[in-house]
Chain A
Amino acid sequence: MEQSELIDAGGVAPQITKQPEQLNLLSQGAEGRLFLGDIFGQVCVIKERFQKNYRVPQLDAKLAQQRINQECKNMARIRKFGVPTPALYLIDEVGRKIYMEYLGKHAYTVKEFLYQLKSFDHPILDQMVDKIGTNLAILHTNDQIHGDLTTSNMMIKPKVPLGLQLSTREEDKRITASEIAESGTLGDVYLIDFGLSFVSGKIEDKAVDIYVLKRAFISTHPGSEDLFDRILDKYREKAGAQGLKIIAKYKDVEKRGRKRECFG
């Protein structure tokens, strides 16, 4: 109760936000819980970084605070470059919650999409490769590091002309990955989860960002090496002169990775 009173005093309209127990849990990531809620009558996603009891309270408070800041600041920053990310509605620092845009029930994480599609060479993936590669290039040209690039942290918001299909399908049924693929238009690829993001001009940081994605990509989707290489090609094409340097450094980081396998 004390917490909501605090928010009250801060001027945030209290009635529009619900307590977590009243909300629908969408998923539990590593960072926190995602709920579907509403704010000012608008559907939204609420991301709560609940207290992690495994770590000492000082460290937990520091990390939560730091990551809420990073996430909000960088999410807003990235929108300026035209890279799709969910819009931020409200920050509740006391309750460790942020309120942001809901991408709709038809949205897929790239991971889910690839799992359902069961193919790495479907023509629709050209669009995906194009969008991911371009987005990453834009991010890095603007010295923005994501910090946790995986296929779960990219979401596809389909742009299927739903009206045309609704006559033949139930209205509340979620569109399937193959339906998106058949429609020939992928839609927008959103980047989400900026808790580990930061601003840096260092080639090393950008190369590690790519390396983190590569590892997540290959281990989550075995056999997708070609697909990842295509993303990398697109990235190089769009990232300009610095792109080559980043790729060269990335090869370095990768080698460092293999060396690290030692004994124990």
Chain B
Amino acid sequence: MEVDKSRKIISLGIEGSANKIGVGIVDQDGTIYSNPRTTFITPPGTGFMPKETAEHHRAKVLTIIKQALEEAKMTLDDITVISYTKGPGMAGPLSVGAIVARTLSQLYNKPIVGVNHCIGHIEMGRVVTKSENPTILYVSGGNTQVIAYSQNRYRIFGETLDIAVGNCLDRFARIINLSNDPSPGHNIEQMAKLGSRYIELPYIVKGMDMSFSGMLTHIEELVTGKKTSQTKKQQQEQSGKMQIEETYSKEDLCYSLQETIFAMLVETTERAMAHCNSREVLLVGGVGCNVRLQQMMGIMAGERGGSVCAMDDRYCIDNGAMIAYAGLLEYKFKGQTGMRLEECTFTQRFRTDEVDVIWRND
């Protein structure tokens, strides 16, 4: 690819906040030159731990950077600015990206920008789908937020009161011993397609907020046989008759869990849209790849005369390009300067609404 290097700002972004380490190279138009990544996959029934994940990232990060540069046919001298994920995320994995970014910045004398992970998703989503001012549903393993922009901040209108939706799905996959390859959510989605019987599950929506931990406990008890989905009344009616031991197929459980959880997500998003008079929805984050969620969101938006901008699943999942792009925006609108080295830390807690969105003025 021929690149006019004198005019363009080229940003290299390093993402490593969870179980994926990725490096992306983009310019200010959102063109992605390369975006390789690898995922730390654990055996079925287990999740990824910070220490092991960080070890995985340390082992892979340099190879991925080389790969990204080769695919983009560039060297580090062509890069204008280096971006990395400052947070939120797991401390161990985050430290890998931050240390590598700082080292490269020092070695090659490049400006450096630390990026909020959520802002990365949102800005990449906006540039890919070309939607101006959507209501954003950000759903992933660590985050569940309904976001809308107002006065230079992405403001959080609704979010989970306990665990994230992706976390709920991942942990459910562990309960029924589903594979973590390529991702638990993907395997649940495939299995749900085979399910047909809807099992009633708790449905917890509080205004624009929602809760998933009770649902997880409930479904765990269904799997282990501590509980049935019948009400007490139904059980009383049945007592006297022969007791039927109820068991639930994995397929039906996956189907019912997805239908219930996604209905909660769509409902809260709709409430935020009604509250903000918005017509567009942007779906980002790992769970946003789920085709059924996209479909449900599409129906809801259609009923309101709006539309849904679902992202390409290559960008929905954590990746380096989105970090590169968000870092580029920050760099460009801060008068082409990076952060001071002592500011280039990382943090586990970094809220979406803490970031001053200097690149938007609507």
Interface 9-mer from B139-147, B323-331, B333-341: B139-147
Q: How far is the CB of B102 from chain A (nearest CB, A)?
A: 20
Interface 9-mer from A72-80, A230-238, A254-262: A254-262
B142 touches A263 (CB 8 A): yes
Q: Which of B203, B275, B318 contacts A216 (CB 8 A)?
A: B275
Number of B residues, CB within 8 Å of A: 58
B166 CB within 8 Å of chain A: yes
Q: Which of A30, A53, A208, A219 contacts B206 (CB 8 A)?
A: A208
Q: How far is the CB of A251 from chain B (nearest CB, A)?
A: 15
B270-325 contacts to A, CB under 8 A, are 270-271, 273-276, 285-286, 295-297, 299-300, 303-304, 318
CA distance A62 to B159 in the complex (A): 24
A59 touches B141 (CB 8 A): no
Q: A208-B161, A212-B208, A215-B208 are in contact. Are A30 and B274 (CB under 8 A)?
A: yes
B296 touches A215 (CB 8 A): no
CA distance A149 to B117 in the complex (A): 30
A134 CB within 8 Å of chain B: no
B206 touches A147 (CB 8 A): yes
Residues of A within 8 A of B304 (CB): 28
Q: How far is the CB of A227 from chain B (nearest CB, A)?
A: 16
Q: How many A-B residue pairs have CB under 8 A?
A: 138
Q: Which of A52, A63, A150, A215 contacts B156 (CB 8 A)?
A: A215
Q: Which of B140, B295, B349 contacts A259 (CB 8 A)?
A: B349
A148 CB within 8 Å of chain B: yes
A55 touches B259 (CB 8 A): yes
A30 touches B161 (CB 8 A): no
B274 touches A262 (CB 8 A): no
Residues of A within 8 A of B117 (CB): 263-264
Residues of A within 8 A of B161 (CB): 208, 253, 256-257, 260
CA distance A55 to B267 in the complex (A): 10
B348 CB within 8 Å of chain A: yes
A15 CB within 8 Å of chain B: no
B76 CB within 8 Å of chain A: no
Residues of A within 8 A of B160 (CB): 260
B299 touches A53 (CB 8 A): yes
B198 touches A212 (CB 8 A): no
CA distance A58 to B275 in the complex (A): 27
B168 CB within 8 Å of chain A: no
B270 touches A262 (CB 8 A): no
| Interface class of chain B by DSSP | mixed
Identity of the chain B residue whose Cβ is nearest the Cβ of A30 in the assembled complex: B271
CA distance A150 to B271 in the complex (A): 11
Number of A residues, CB within 8 Å of B: 39
Residues of A within 8 A of B271 (CB): 29-30, 148
B90 CB within 8 Å of chain A: yes
Q: A54-B263, A150-B275, A219-B148 are in contact. Are A261 and B207 (CB under 8 A)?
A: no
A135 CB within 8 Å of chain B: no
CA distance A59 to B257 in the complex (A): 12
A261 touches B88 (CB 8 A): yes
Residues of B within 8 A of A62 (CB): 200
A219 touches B299 (CB 8 A): no
Residues of A within 8 A of B203 (CB): 59, 63
A59 touches B274 (CB 8 A): no
Residues of A within 8 A of B155 (CB): 218-219, 222
Indicate the member of A59, A218, A222, A223 with the most B CB atoms within 10 Å.
A59
Residues of A within 8 A of B350 (CB): 261
A152 CB within 8 Å of chain B: yes
B27 CB within 8 Å of chain A: no
> Nearest 8 CB-CB pairs, A to B?
A264-B142, A264-B140, A263-B89, A30-B271, A263-B142, A219-B155, A54-B296, A55-B263
B interface, CB within 8 angstroms of A: 17-18, 88-90, 117, 140-143, 148, 150-151, 153, 155-162, 164, 166, 198, 200, 203, 205-209, 259-260, 263, 266-267, 270-271, 273-276, 285-286, 295-297, 299-300, 303-304, 318, 348-351, 353
A interface, CB within 8 angstroms of B: 27-30, 52-56, 58-59, 62-63, 111, 147-150, 152, 196, 208, 212, 215-216, 218-220, 222-223, 253, 256-264
Give 14 A-B contacts (CB < 8 Å), ordered by A residue: A28-B274, A30-B275, A56-B263, A59-B259, A196-B207, A208-B161, A208-B206, A212-B206, A212-B207, A219-B155, A257-B161, A260-B159, A262-B89, A264-B143
